[in-house]
Chains A and B, each alone.
Chain A
């Protein structure tokens, strides 16, 4: 049922070599192809629109959910997924989309993911995007992620796009309640004439909520990147945005910070930097015997790790 190409895509986006353990749902070319549920995690197809509901029972510990999406032809796919992470649960969710587009048609996957992380629950969510294929058709991914973290909950997000996606616009909106915590790690590499836009808005509405957003990107060739990282503090809270980009060749990077405090005890920090690879770093690695190209690759690999 899964071809060699499908398997490679799954490996790229979900580190899956075979059918995963635990709960999973694999979607291929707009259709669900394989699914497994467990005693604690249910996956239900939505009735009113394409997509699924993933329901994690309260108190579920140490389980994982894989929901990769693969496209292997020119196709426009749109899904709505809803995640309900029950109170006190601790789960690991791996999403991600791999596109193999051999056609001249556009292959596009737009997803709206909505998460409810209930009281004292923990969720780690990893989303990898990957594209390949020799066709002239564009590979486009536009994810929208909406997360509500209830009191004492923790949401950890890793959003990674390293290869082969021509256009992406990702919108991420998070609301944090009392004592809730958010950790976002974003890694992005663009090359050729790719464009990427990332908008992240974090609203800290609850007392003692904390948020950390670390975005690192590399822009090569003629690619363009736009970051709009926005944090709003409505209560006593702490937020930190770190946005770091390495620029190369004729690329363009724009980083637009926005922090707004609506409360005197909100502490918000935004750091943004764009620059070349430091020549000292290259020289150091070359003096260990690496060529200039190897040194550059090593530095970029570390930076995007």
Chain B
């Protein structure tokens, strides 16, 4: 389906060049759900952006269904069926939710738009005609962002920390939505997340650290590791379950 072969990414930073990804080798298979996890700044979002074409590789190759897409831009990759839900989606003055969903799905079908909003736990009556401007909270913005990806018929959909800013009640809904997307469109899903409940959705878990893939493993291994850490450290019992190791206690 999607292959990354020895992919390096070097970006121009304030203090010269920074190698953000090193020799990434990754194979994403059709219909599977992958959860990408690992420490902050480890390279998870960089992998997602490289898949979308936002970052161009300095080395290596990316294939989609066997086709070399290494040098294709964002637009072309989008048209080939790749989608990316931003970690921090931008706001748009003057653009309504309705407009965004129409752009995403290529149709202004109202019933469809209502379904999309329902899937992310928003009432279409309240939201379709609202502008995606500063009046949106972070959580609302994330939901619209997720809806804009659900609207498309994708081969590969990458969600960058979709649960950030989403309340617990909607969380259950969100996990169902991912499962449905996977089943309905045969979409391969990659979710960047640290949440145990999201990890439970995974067919495989990709651990990314220091700009490299640390390991690709099953969810049982990761979940039992979290279990072990949570039971061994008394301190962590007060922290967020499954939170980062060596987090400072309050």
Contact = CB atoms under 8 A, between A and B. Distances in A.
A283 B148 CA distance: 14
Contact of A291 (B75, B92, B103): B75
Contacts of A34: none
A292 B52 CA distance: 15
A278 interface: yes
B51 to A, nearest CB: 11
Interface stretch (B8-16, B79-87, B189-197): B79-87
Contacts of A62: none
Interface string A109-146: 00000000000000000000000000000000000000
B152 A288 contact: yes
Contacts, number: 53
A283 B54 contact: yes
Interface stretch (A42-50, A174-182, A295-303): A295-303
Contact of A290 (B92, B95, B103): B103
Interface residues of B, number: 23
Contacts of A100: none
Contacts of A244: 93
A290 B78 CA distance: 8
Contacts of A305: 94
B90 A284 contact: yes
A291 B78 CA distance: 10
Nearest to B105: A288
Contact of B93 (A292, A298, A303): A303
B156 to A, nearest CB: 12
B94 A287 contact: no
Interface in B144-163: 148, 152
A290 B94 contact: no
Interface of A: 216, 244, 278, 280-281, 283-292, 298-299, 301-305
Given A280-B86, A302-B92, 12 more contacts: A280-B88, A286-B78, A288-B83, A288-B104, A290-B103, A298-B95, A298-B103, A299-B95, A301-B94, A302-B93, A303-B93, A305-B94
11 contacts: A216-B94, A244-B93, A281-B92, A283-B74, A285-B103, A286-B73, A287-B78, A287-B83, A288-B78, A299-B92, A302-B94
Cβ-closest 6 pairs across A and B: A302-B94, A302-B95, A280-B90, A289-B78, A286-B74, A305-B94
